Structures are given as C-alpha cells and as structure tokens.
Structure 1
Amino acid sequence: MPIFNQSIRRKIVGIALGLIVLMLVTAILSMVMSSQVGVLLDELTNRYIPAYGDLARANIRSLERAVALRRMVMTKMQSPSDEEAYAARLREFEAADRKIEEEAERARTLINAIIDDTRTPSDNAALARIETRIETAVTELRRDMNEDHAKLLKQVDAKQAAEARNTLEHIDAIRDQFNQKIDLIRADMLKQVYASTSTVIGHQHQAIIVSGVVTLLAAVVGFAFALLVSSGITRPVRLLLAGTREVEAGHFDKPITVSTRDEIGELAAAFNRMIEQLRQNERIRETFGRYIDPKVVQGLIDRPEVAIDGQRRVMTIMFCDMSGFTSMSEGMTPRGLVKVMNHYFTVMSGPIRNNRGVIDKYIGDAIMSYWGPPFIEEAEQAELACHAAIDMADQVPALQQQLPDLLGIRAMPAPCDLRIGIATGEVLTGSIGSDLMMSFTVMGDAVNLASRLEAVNKAYGTRILISQTTADGVGSGLELREIDRLAVVGQSAPQAVFEVMGRAGALTGPQEILRTHYAEGLAAYRARRFDDARAAFNAALESVPADGPSLTMLGRIAQFEANPPTADWDGAWRMDSK
C-alpha cells in the first residue's frame, strides 16, 4: 500500500516527537546523577585505589632496597673488590631507598586530597589517622635506618664481614617492623576503599532506579506509538534479521525477498547485494587459501599494514626435503610425479598445520615453513617446530608403503626418506617481490641456516638437525643429541648442532647408551684424544649399528690421523659446500 511506502519516516518522526520530552527528563536526571557517581568513581579510581597501591609498593620498595643492600655488600666483600660495580650497587641502593619515601609521600598526598575534597562523603577522621601513621612509620624508619646504614657502610669499607652481617640482621628487623606497620595501614586503607566502593554502588543503584522508572514510562508511551507502524514494517524487519543470522552463520546463498519499496525495502535490496559480494569474497578466500597458508591469508586481511611495513621477529624456520627425489623422479611420468608429490606434500603438511606452523612455500620437493609471532607465542615456537618434525618423520614408513600403490608398481625405484633442518633467529617478515606480484615470506640468517642444516643431514646420516638457539628453546620437552660444532657455508662462527632423537622419555635403552658414548667420543674428539674418541664411537655403534653420526666422526678421525689438524683447531667442522 502507498501509505507503507511513504510513511515510515513520518511515523518515526511522530514517535520521536512524542518521546522527546521524556527523553529530556531522563537525560537531565541521568546527567545529574551520573555526574555525582562520576565524581565518586573518579575519587575511587584516582585517589583511593592509587593510594592503596602506593602503600603496597612501599612494601615492595622496602624489599627491593634490602636486595640492593645485599648486592652492594656482596660486591664489596668479594675478592678482589670491584669498586666500579660497588659504586653502581650503592647507587641502586640509594635509589631504592628514596623510592620508599616517594611512594609513602604519594599515598599521603592522595589521602590529603580526599580529605580536602568537600564534594564527596568520606571518613576524614580515619583518613587523617592513616595519613599520620604513614608519616610516623616513614619517619621512624628513616631515623632507625640512618645510623645503621652509616655503620654498615663503614663495616663494608673495612670488610668486617661478621660485623656487617650483624648490622644487616638489625636492618632486616627494622625493615620487618616497617613492613608490619605498612601492612596494618594498608588494611585500614582497604576498609576505606571498600567504604568508598559501597558509596559509589549505592549512588549508582539510585541512578539506575530513577532512570528505570522514567525509561519504563517512555517505553509505555513508545509502545502505544509503535502499534501504529508495527504492522507495516515488522515482517520485512524479521526477514532482514533472519538473513543477517544466516550470514553470521556463514551462509551466503539465501537472499531476502524484497516486499516493499520503502526504506526497509531499499535496505533489503542493499543486503542482497552485500550477500552476493560476500559470496564472491568467500570464493576468493577459499581459492586464495589453497595457494597461501590460511593463517597468512587471514593475517593479511586483518592487518594489511604488517605485510606492507615488514617487521623483525624471532622465528623458527624449518626446511624439509625428500632424500632420493632426483633418482626417484627420473623413472616417473610427469603425471605420476605430480601425483606422488601432491600426496607427499599432503602427508607432510599435516603435522606442520597440526602443530600450528605456517607453510611458506613448496620448493621442488622441499617444504619451507615457520613458527612465531603473531601466529603463536615466541616461547613455544621451537618446541612446536620440533614436534612437527618428529610427526613428519613418523609418517615416513607409511609413506614408503603408499608410494608404490600410487604409482601402480611393486616397489619404488629408489628409497625415499626425509631430511629436516630447523633454526631459530631474527628474521624479516613481510611482502617481498615486485610491483606485479608479491609473496608474504620470511628472510634472514635463520632461514639460510635452516636450509643448510637440512642439507647437513646428508653428511651425518641424520633426519632432523636443529641449531643451538632452537635447542635452547626446546628445553626438556625433547630428547636431543649434540652432533657437532659446525660453521655452515655462509657462516664464519661455528655453533653446536643437535639431532632430535624423539620426545622426552621416548628413547630406548640402546639409544640412551648411544647418546652417552657419542657424547664421550665427541668430547675426546674435540680434545684431540682421537684413540679415546674412536673407542667411544665404536661403542656407540655397538648399541645402534650404522649410526650415521658415529660413522661420520670415525671417518673424520681417520682423516685427522693422516692429516692432523692445525694447532689452532677449535674442534669445529667447517662445511665447504652447501
């Protein structure tokens, strides 16, 4: 009907005019009462609570001063005495000593401000007593401490340890007395905080009741006016609401029927256009997510400035490569090779995703992935990356059985296995590329090191090698074995390299024996005791025959016996090829 196509705005204006008087009354009452509540709340948040916090910090400053005092004494008493360090510790102590009075003075200032404010009700007598007790406690502390501090400094300068210890004990007793006084003062101050909070709540409840009564009156009048227009607009509004819920649930295939030509009809038409655009965006997101990790896609959508500006972050990088890929691919058809690689990437990408990693790219038969902020916390990135590597290695036996079935052959032409390198360090994250095409990736020394460690597995006959920084981040959650100290291509300073043997507590008896003998052999090797090293590595091989690192070290010992290392040899091995 024409009346419903043209009257919505007029009826809304009529309702507004009918309610404007009640709204003004409600607003004025709310402003007056909210102003009073605001004053009370401001006093609570800006005076009562900070004053209580200053008293709490006074306790903390007292403990900090005690710690600084002990550090100063220990620095002075050590032999030889480091005067520069002692002077620094003395400055720290004096700074901590001043902060006690500063915190107490701030608390007194806030309490006096509460007392002086006539706009708010407060127990001024109780507050005045608290302020006086604070002043008395600090004065007594300063009076009792000055003499002991002077005595202690003289005893420290004279290095009279026993006398200094007795003085320290006396200072501690004075500090404990001060802390007890402050604790009692804080308890009384907390009662005042509670009393102020109760006052704020009471005024707030009163404001709510008054506002509720006036609002209820406005609701009754508004309901009478709403009956005049409800029949014409409720149905399209319900349809719009139902459509909104469908969109909220992720369903973009249910447009709204446009039944009117008024403002709501225009809104419904706009809503349908929005649904169509969202449907197209979702298709783009799904397609885009198959080429770039979904975490990165969502991150670029939510925070595009990160991709534009770039950031330096500490991240953990993993490179995973399939050993024997070249010889295996020579006998395959292109279709068979694509089928194998797609299955291989699917199997190996699962553990990375399950352990909250981000797949950066597939490079030939290699997978580059990373862990770190903002996708996960920095403290857990190294352990998650290593758990992903273990899970990937666990998939190898099943993968070796599945590949012949995928190709329709009895056995693979060449065995396949994994080589994984993991490194942690500062990298640059951002969009790298040209004006025509860019890729969100990570760059830095940690990326290069992870790539080199992946290749180093071939030299040592290992599967998973991690850097020193990654090993430090893992903690006790995994079983590690130090393999060697290496300077890979592109690095001048060597660092320790570790093999991930398994999760914590998962090693067998032979593996434990292997790790023990290998560590003995490595220590002897670095000390140039090559006979002892050979015996230890052979003992390791008795526990786990064909252990790659042990065989590698035995071969290296043979080389050194023929060509001994130079006198400045540091026990590290420097790689001359990638």
Structure 2
Amino acid sequence: MQIFNQSIRRKIVGIALGLIVLMLVTSILSMVMSSQVGVLLDELTNRYIPAYGHLARANIRSLERALALRRMVMTKMQSPSDEEAYAARLREFEETDRRIEEEVEGARKLINAIIDDPRTPSDNAALARIEIRIETAVTDLRRDLNEDHARLLKQVDARQMAEARGTLEHIDALRDQFNQKVDAIRGDMLTQVFFSTSQVIGHQRQAMIISGIVTMLAAIVGFVFALLVSSGITRPVRLLLAGTREVEAGRFDKAITVSTQDEIGELAAAFNRMIEQLRHNERIRETFGRYIDPKVVQGLIDRPEVAIDGQRRVMTIMFCDMSGFTSMSEGMTPRGLVKVMNHYFTVMSGPIRNNRGIIDKYIGDAIMSYWGPPFIEEGEQGLLAGLAAIEMAEQVPALQKQLPDLLGIRAMPVPCDLRIGIATGEVLTGSIGSELMMSFTVMGDAVNLASRLELVNKIYGTRILISQATADAIEAGLELREIDRLAVAGQSAPQAIFEVMDKTGTLSAAQESLRSHYVAGLAAYRLRRFDEARIAFNAALESFPGDGPSRTLLARIAQFEADPPAADWDGAWRLDAK
C-alpha cells in the first residue's frame, strides 16, 4: 500500500489526522442529532404545551365569564339599583369574555406555527382539524351568546326576572356545550402532546444509539487504521531486531526483507549492507584463520595499535617438534610427506587451541605457540600450556597407528615421537617484518629458551621439558619432576628444568616411585655422592625401566668418575651447542 511507503513522520501525522477526522465526524453527527432533538424539545415546550395551556385556560375563562355575568345580573336586580356597580360588573364581564377570545386565539396561533414548521415530524392533519374545531366552537359560541346576552340585558333592564332567569339558564347550557367541545379538543391536543413527547424521546434514544454506533465504528476504524500503520512500522523493527540478534549470535546468513521505503526501510537496507560486509569480513577471517590464528586476527582488529607499537609482556612459549622427521621424510614422496605433515599438524594443533593457545607458526615439522595477555590472563598461561603439552603427548600412540594407514604402508620406516619445550618470561609482541610483509609474533629470551628445551629432550630422553619460571607458574597444577640444573647455549646462569609427567593426581605407583628415587638420586648427584646417586637412579630404573633422565645421569656419573668435575662445580650442566 502507498501509505506504508511514506516516512515515519508522515505515518504518525496521518494516524493523528485520521483520528481527528473521525472525532470531528462523530462530534458533528452528535451535534446534528442533538440539534434535532433540541428542535423537538423546543416545539414541545414552546408550542404544544402552551397551546394545551391556552385551551385549558379557555375553559377557566368561560367559567369566570359565567360568574361575572351572574354578578352583573345580581347587581342590576338590587333595589335600589347601583348603576356604578352595575357598570363595573359589565366591564368585568366584557373583559372576561375578551380573555376567552385571547386564549383561543393563542392556541390557534401555536397550532398553526406547529403546522407551518417543516423541521418537526408533527401530525399536521390532526392539528389542522383541531384548529378548525377550535374556530368552529368559538364562532358558534359567539353567535349564540351575542343574542342571549342582548336579550338578557333587556330583560334585566325591564326587571323581567323570570324571563332573565330562563335566558341565563340557556346561556349556562351554551357555556357547558362550549366547555365540552373545548374538553374534547384538549383531549385531542393532549394526544398530540404525547405524540410529540414520544417523538422527542424516540429521537433522543435514536441519537444516543446512532452516536454510540458511530463512536464505536470510529473507534474500530481508528484502531484498525492505527494497527495497520503501526504494524507497518513495528514489523520491520521486529525483523531488524531479529536480524540484530542473529548478528549478535555470529550468524550473518540472514538478510532482512525491505518492505517499506521509510527511515526503517533505509535502516534495514543499511543493515543488509552491513551484514554483507560482516559476511565478507568473516570469510576473510576464516581464510586468514588458516594462516594466522583467529585470536590474533580478532585481537589485531580490536586493538590495531598493539601490532603497530608492540608491547612487552610475560608469556609462555611452546616449541613442539616431531622426532625422527628427517629420516622419515627421506623415504617419502612429496605428496605423501605433505599428507603426513598436514595430519600431524592438525592433530597437534587441536590441544593448543582447545587450551586457548595461539599458534604462531609452523617451522618445518615444528610448531611454535604461545599463551599470554591479551588473549588469556597471565596467571593461567603456564598451566594451560602444560595441559596442552600433556594432551599432545597423549595423541602420539594414536598418531603412530594412523600414519601407516595414511600412507598405505604396513609400518613407518622410522618411529615418530614428540618433543616439547616450554618456557615463561618477558617477550616483545608485535608485528615484525618488512614493509612488504609483516608477521605478528613474539621475540625474546623465553622464545630461545623454549626452543632449546625442546632440543634438550633429546639429551634426557624426555617428551615435555619446562623452565623454572613455568614450573613456578604451574605450582601444584600438574605433576612435575625436576630433571636437572641446566645452562643452555646463550645463557650463563643455570636454572632448574622440569619434566611434566601428567595431570595432578593421575600418577601411577610406578611413576611415584620413579620420582621419589630420582629426587633422591639428583640430590646425591649435586652433592658429589655419586655412589648414592647411582643406587637411587638404578632404583628409579627398576620402578620405571627405560627412564631417559635416569640413564642420562648414570652415564654422566660414569663420566665424572673417569674425569671428576672441577672443585667449584655447582651441580649444573652446561650445553655449549645449540
């Protein structure tokens, strides 16, 4: 409809004008019908009832005239005769007679006014008959009374009392006949009054009913009109709200139908354009999410100054490498190698992201990742990195079974395993690179230490090694075992390194025995009590055969027995090679 294509302002003004028009129509109709009732009431009060009153008073005047006539006769018949009193009674009689004429004439004028008024639905024929009957009654009365009055006056002057008494009785008979006619006319007139009253009541009731109906119709029409127009406003708003909730939930696939051309329609069109842009940005984010971690992408979108300026933050860095990769890759085709590496990275990346880590890059067969602000809180980064490492290690048995099936061979030429190094420390975060290409990454001693610890796993025959700072951050969150005090290449001061054995409370009895014996052996080793250390490490191997750190330190003890350490030896081991 054309009305729905107007602006919201015009719609609201249209609703207001429509309601005003309906109110005016209702008011005008009520006024017209009230005026009709007023006309009927005016005719009833100012014509019907006064006309009836004139007829009633005509009856009274006729009785007053008869009384005046008798007084006049009685005054004349007095002896001696009082002419002055007689003249006064005669004037009284004539005045009363004139009043009868006035009352009758007043009734006739009002009846004729009712008949002549075209605005009222009166019974004009009946009123005309009443008017004629009034005129006839008065004419007959006047004709008969004039002769009797003249005769009566002559008889009174001649003092013919017997004849005067008879004439007076005849006059009373004429008066009674006149009164009977007037009473009959009054009865008919009263019927017309009742008819007019019923007309007034009927019109008043009709006016009330019609006003009620018109008011109800106006209310219904106004409500329907307002409902249609308001629905034309609110329906797009509800659609817009539903679309907003979809966007809030991260769903950008539902566009809003633009059904109006008002401001809301323009807003809906703009909303659809925004959804399209968001959908486009989401596709870009999903695409780049395969090359850059989605959290980094979102972080750079939310806070681009971080990438530009760079910041120093304490973060936990992890390096993960596949052991035996070089030997394994020599016997594979490029296609097979890509398939193996993609599967390996997919399996190992899952635990990192599940534990809210950021994958920085893939380097050959290695994975570099990190934990820290602004992606997670600083206090939980070490524990999350340790949990991710444990879950990654748990994937190794399944991965060893999947790779031959993936390549279509019976067994891998070289067994694969996992080495993980984790370190915590202050690093620089920001976009590093050239003007042509940038990479958001982390740099610092903690990164180098994590890379070195991943390689140190080869020496100790372990899977997961962490730095002292990471162990302090984890506290009792995981089961740890101190392996050694080590100074890696590039560091002068040694620090303790720890092996992540498992989640808290999940160690077996053999692992508990291994750790207790190893702790005792390590303490004796640092005090140069090599015999006690050898016994403890051998006990550890009995609890857990094949334990790499125990074998490494037993070999080192044999080396020290052949070539004892210097006198200032601090119990730490130093690695010169990277």
User: Which TM bucket (shorter chain)?
Assistant: 0.5 to 0.7
Q: How does 1:241-390 map to 2 (within 5 A)?
A: 241-390=241-390
Name the residue aligned to 1:563.
563
Q: Which amino acid aligns with 1:327?
A: S
More deviation in 396-405 or 535-544?
A: 535-544
Contact between 2:486 and 2:575, CA under 8 Å: does it hold in 1?
Answer: yes
Shift of the alpha carbon at 1:536? 2.3
Name the residue aligned to 2:125.
none
| In 2: Cα distance, 1:6 partner to 1:445 partner | 67
Contact between 2:15 and 2:229, CA under 8 Å: does it hold in 1?
Answer: no
Contact between 2:460 and 2:549, CA under 8 Å: does it hold in 1?
Answer: yes
Name the residue aligned to 2:230.
230
Q: How does 1:484-499 map to 2 (within 5 A)?
A: 484-499=484-499
Name the residue aligned to 1:23.
none
| In 2: Cα distance, 1:15 partner to 1:305 partner | 52
SS at match of 1:483: strand
SS at match of 2:403: helix
Shift of the alpha carbon at 1:227? 6.5
| In 2: Cα distance, 1:374 partner to 1:541 partner | 43
SS at match of 1:376: coil
Contact between 2:316 and 2:422, CA under 8 Å: does it hold in 1?
Answer: yes
SS at match of 1:283: helix
Residue 527 (structure 2) pairs with residue 548 (structure 1): no
Shift of the alpha carbon at 1:426? 1.1
More deviation in 264-273 or 472-481?
A: 264-273
Deviations 1:57-80 (A, max 9, x none): xxxxxxxxxxxxxxxxxxxxxxxx
RMSD in angstroms over aligned alpha carbons? Answer: 2.7
SS at match of 2:528: coil
Contact between 2:479 and 2:504, CA under 8 Å: does it hold in 1?
Answer: yes
Name the residue aligned to 2:428.
428
Deviations 1:508-527 (A, max 9, x none): 22322222222222222222
Q: How does 1:390-429 map to 2 (within 5 A)?
A: 390-429=390-429
Shift of the alpha carbon at 1:480? 1.6
Contact between 1:8 and 1:229, CA under 8 Å: does it hold in 2?
Answer: no
Deviations 1:540-562 (A, max 9, x none): 22222222111111221222222
SS at match of 1:423: strand
CA separation of 1:14 and 1:325: change in aligned 2, threshold 3 A: same
| In 1: Cα distance, 2:434 partner to 2:295 partner | 23
Residue 464 (structure 2) pairs with residue 456 (structure 1): no
Shift of the alpha carbon at 1:267? 2.9
Shift of the alpha carbon at 1:6? 5.0
Q: How does 1:2-81 map to 2 (within 5 A)?
A: 5=5, 8-10=8-10
Q: Which amino acid aligns with 1:356?
A: R
Name the residue aligned to 1:447.
447
Q: How does 1:80-159 map to 2 (within 5 A)?
A: none
Deviations 1:141-199 (A, max 9, x none): xxxxxxxxxxxxxxxxxxxxxxxxxxxxxxxxxxxxxxxxxxxxxxxxxxxxxxxxxxx
Contact between 2:7 and 2:263, CA under 8 Å: does it hold in 1?
Answer: no
SS at match of 2:480: strand
Q: Which amino acid aligns with 2:510?
A: P
SS at match of 1:436: coil
| In 2: Cα distance, 1:516 partner to 1:247 partner | 56
Q: Percent identity?
A: 87
Residue 528 (structure 2) pairs with residue 528 (structure 1): yes
Q: Which amino acid aligns with 2:377?
A: E
Q: Which amino acid aligns with 1:298?
A: Q
| In 2: Cα distance, 1:478 partner to 1:232 partner | 62
Shift of the alpha carbon at 1:311? 1.7
Deviations 1:233-287 (A, max 9, x none): 4454444444444434444333334344443433333233222212211111211
CA separation of 1:238 and 1:560: change in aligned 2, threshold 3 A: closer
| In 2: Cα distance, 1:359 partner to 1:398 partner | 22
CA separation of 1:14 and 1:4: change in aligned 2, threshold 3 A: closer
**Unaligned 5+ residue runs, structure 1?**
18-222
Shift of the alpha carbon at 1:504? 2.3
- Looking at CA atoms only, which structure, 1 or 2, has the larger radius of gyration? 2
Shift of the alpha carbon at 1:5? 4.6
Shift of the alpha carbon at 1:490? 0.7
TM-score, normalized by length of structure 1?
Answer: 0.60
| In 2: Cα distance, 1:359 partner to 1:16 partner | 62
CA separation of 1:286 and 1:563: change in aligned 2, threshold 3 A: same
Deviations 1:299-323 (A, max 9, x none): 2222222222222211111111100
Deviations 1:468-513 (A, max 9, x none): 1111112122222111110001101000111112222322223222
SS at match of 2:500: strand
| In 1: Cα distance, 2:465 partner to 2:511 partner | 17
Q: Which amino acid aligns with 1:462?
A: T
Shift of the alpha carbon at 1:408? 0.4
| In 1: Cα distance, 2:476 partner to 2:265 partner | 64
| In 2: Cα distance, 1:254 partner to 1:536 partner | 68
Contact between 2:3 and 2:11, CA under 8 Å: does it hold in 1?
Answer: no
* Count of matched residue pairs: 375
CA separation of 1:258 and 1:475: change in aligned 2, threshold 3 A: closer
CA separation of 1:261 and 1:386: change in aligned 2, threshold 3 A: closer
More deviation in 251-260 or 352-361?
A: 251-260
CA separation of 1:7 and 1:454: change in aligned 2, threshold 3 A: closer
Deviations 1:6-42 (A, max 9, x none): 554455579999xxxxxxxxxxxxxxxxxxxxxxxxx
